[in-house]
Amino acid sequence: MALIGLVASAAHAAEPAARSLRLLVGFAPGGAADVVARLIGPPLAERLGQSVIIDNRAGAGGVLAAAALARAGSDGQTLLLSSSGPLVVSPYIMNTLGYDVARDLQAVSLAVRFTNVVVVPAGAPMQTLADYLRTARSRSGGLTFATSGVGSTGHLAGELLRQRAGVPLTHVAYRGGGPAMTDVLGGQVDSMIATISTALPHVQSGRLRALAVTSARRVAALPGVPTVDESGFAGFDATNWFAFLVSAEVPLATARTLSAALVDVLSAPPVREGLAHHGMEAWPTSMAEARAWIDRESRQWARVVREAGIRAE
């Protein structure tokens, strides 16, 4: 078994190159998760001495990919890049997942953290978040906002904004940030609460206008864009993050080997710089730190989900 071979005797050293590590991504190509996977894939392959195949398994806000990991078995040849949605939100909004996060999955490292940004097409009349909310109040039916899926941080951020501003905002869920962005640019949806990596190229090209970021602090990639907090909603913070996980059946020694490889890759300057170019911060952690963070986020978002009454569609 390839990853076991990395920590076994030299007699097994030739085995890893004969097999490929499958990196499951729970969202369609073009979104933030896909960006991370394609930046991480090549240096991870070099570090492990085996090829890494990116497998986009879009659907149900990342749940399908997480369920596939839970069935992957014990050989350590399948890795998942997942987000807060399937790990800490979907368990509270879906009746059937096909996996239990605590029982079936084990985190090997956090991956990145980054903000969402509220964007509208460049031709829209709204110049600020205040304009956006006034338009929502005045327009029959309010405004629509797209996200990468039900239970995504973008969705939760939109629900929080809707609640706190008291305006009609209607969520439109997509199977990933890429397809959602296509419809926003095409005018099929009024706005989007997008990951910064998905929105940034279009903001920079002038096709989109950024109104506010959802993190507690401004971000270096968009220094002139205020936070939702600064725009009148004190304490507002909805930060995205991704984590790497393997099946709970994978032996601890194999999981630790993969964790060490990921920490090395995420700590490398070229990877950190590549992620920063897309508005993301590399976040390598130990297995214990990753698990503690996921547990903390689960408790926090459970309350938000209950108050918003969010259920899977």
Determine which helix (DSSP H) or strand (DSSP E) holds 271, and give its type and residue range: helix 269-277
Cite the beta strand spans of 122-226 per DSSP E. 143-147, 169-173, 191-195, 208-213
| Cβ–Cβ under 8 Å, residues 116 and 203 | no
Half-sphere exposure of 57 (CA within 13 A, CB side): 21
Distance of alpha carbon 160 from alpha carbon 307, whole angstroms? 9
Distance of CA 257 to the CA centre of its chain: 24
Q: Tally DSSP H helices, then E strands, for the chain.
A: 13, 10
Distance of alpha carbon 25 from alpha carbon 22, whole angstroms? 10
pLDDT digits (tens, 9 = 90+) for 69-105: 999 999 999 999 999 989 999 999 998 899 999 999 9
Q: For residue 219, what are its two tokens?
A: 């971000």
pLDDT digits (tens, 9 = 90+) for 1-22: 444 443 333 333 334 445 899 9
Distance of alpha carbon 210 from alpha carbon 118, whole angstroms? 6
Q: What is the mean pLDDT of residues 298-309?
A: 83
How much is the pLDDT for 13? 37
Q: For residue 121, what are its two tokens?
A: 């097409």
- Residue 152 pLDDT class (50, 70, 90 cuts): confident
More confident residue, 58 or 259: 259
Q: What is the mean pLDDT of residues 274-303?
A: 92
**Whether residue 270 has pLDDT greater than 60:** yes
Distance of alpha carbon 199 from alpha carbon 194, whole angstroms? 6
How much is the pLDDT for 303? 79
- Residue 124 pLDDT class (50, 70, 90 cuts): very high
Dihedral of alpha carbons 238, 240, 244, 247, sign: positive
- Residue 190 pLDDT class (50, 70, 90 cuts): very high
Distance of alpha carbon 74 from alpha carbon 105, whole angstroms? 11
Dihedral of alpha carbons 92, 96, 100, 105, sign: negative
Distance of alpha carbon 111 from alpha carbon 43, whole angstroms? 14
* Longest Cα separation, the chain: 71
* Number of Cβ atoms within 10 Å of the Cβ of 220: 9
Mean pLDDT of the chain: 90
* Number of Cβ atoms within 10 Å of the Cβ of 300: 11
Determine which helix (DSSP H) or strand (DSSP E) holds 297, and give its type and residue range: helix 287-308
Distance of CA 81 to the CA centre of its chain: 8
Determine which helix (DSSP H) or strand (DSSP E) holds 138, and give its type and residue range: helix 129-138
* Crossing angle of the two packed helices 269-277 and 252-267, in degrees rounded to 10: 70
Q: For residue 98, what are its two tokens?
A: 């096909």
**Whether residue 175 has pLDDT greater than 90:** no
Distance of alpha carbon 80 from alpha carbon 65, whole angstroms? 7
Among all chains, which residue has been given the structure tokens 């369609």?
A: 28
Q: Please report, for residues 132, 157, 187, 296, the alpha-carbon distance to residue 234 in angstroms, rounded to integers and kept in the order given.
A: 18, 14, 31, 22
How much is the pLDDT for 165? 95
Domains of the chain: 2-113+240-308 (3.40.190.150), 115-213 (3.40.190.10)
